[in-house]
Amino acid sequence: MALIDRSATWPWKGDTPVHLPRPDVVPQDFLLPGDPGRVDMGESVLTDFAVVGQNREFRMGVGFFEGHRIGICSTGIGGASTEIAMVELAAMGAKRIVRIGGMGALARDLSLGDFLIVRQTPPNSACARPYAPADRAVTAAPEIVAMLDSRRRSLGLAGRIGSVITADGYYRAQGRPDHGDGRGNPDLLDGLAGQGADGIEMEAEIVFAVGAALGVAAGAVLAVHAHRRSDGWLEDYEQTQRDLITIAAGALAANPTSYSLERTPL
């Protein structure tokens, strides 16, 4: 049996990651949707956009916004695959990463289609624990928060800055029933809102925690795809997804300075 010159501890093959495609030129700035199908939406917002490749749930494309190179890489759903994307992007040289995606709103002042710029996530996801303690909230990089909200306001898009809680599941973990005629768990929603959460999603805490540990400036802008209080559902959200790319790519392009953060030693 032929041996491959790499280790189980760090199973990269030279500078090629285990899971993510690698572009010829790695952007310092990346957007992270969950759904691989949303990566291709970059073509309608970015110029010279090209898909680099896909492996499992990780689809990647690279283009330019106002002359600034931007990468888009899907994470799949949930914390485990998001941790992989964050670590491998950081190791390839990414410096700023913004999660773009949907959320279920808990705050009554948010409406379907609004945008939330995430400032912090109360500790909830087990996937974040190797990177951040469980006794305090994980915060986005303050400069990323300010850039994203400034861009949102300049585009005239409804929303605000706030907090979300990251769940490790979609059904019971978010108070949903596990069968069609079930009632779900509204008490769970009340408890999450009581922690200051304006909404629920499945990746932001991991993006912030891994980013802070690895010296990557991280943030998130999320669109209200569902409202857990009114039980509303945004059926047609294609334009909303394009707006997410426009907010995040525009914010990064308008502020091209690379931030140098300290890594947390392991």
**pTM of this structure:** 0.95
In which band, very low, low, confident or very high, does the pLDDT at 5 lie, cut at 50, 70 and 90? confident
Distance CA 208, CA 218 (A): 6
Nearest one of 182, 217, 174, 177 to 199, comparing CA atoms: 174
Distance CA 123, CA 8 (A): 30
Tell me the per-residue pLDDT of 123-164, one tens digit each, with 9 for 90 and over. 999 999 999 999 999 999 999 999 999 999 999 999 999 999
Percent helix, percent strand, percent coil in the chain, to nearest 5: 30, 25, 45
**Sequence-distant (≥ 6) Cβ neighbours of residue 168 within 8 angstroms:** 78, 79, 124, 125, 126, 127, 202
Given a cut of 90, whether residue 216 has pLDDT beyond it is: yes
Distance CA 207, CA 197 (A): 17
CATH 3.40.50.1580 given to domain 29-254: yes
Tell me the per-residue pLDDT of 219-263, one tens digit each, with 9 for 90 and over. 999 999 999 999 999 999 899 999 999 999 999 999 987 555 566
Distance CA 244, CA 51 (A): 19
What one-character DSSP code corresponds to residue 93? T
Please answer whether residues 238 and 261 qualify as being in contact, where contact means their C-beta atoms are separated by less than 8 angstroms: no
Q: Report the SS3 class of residue 73.
A: strand
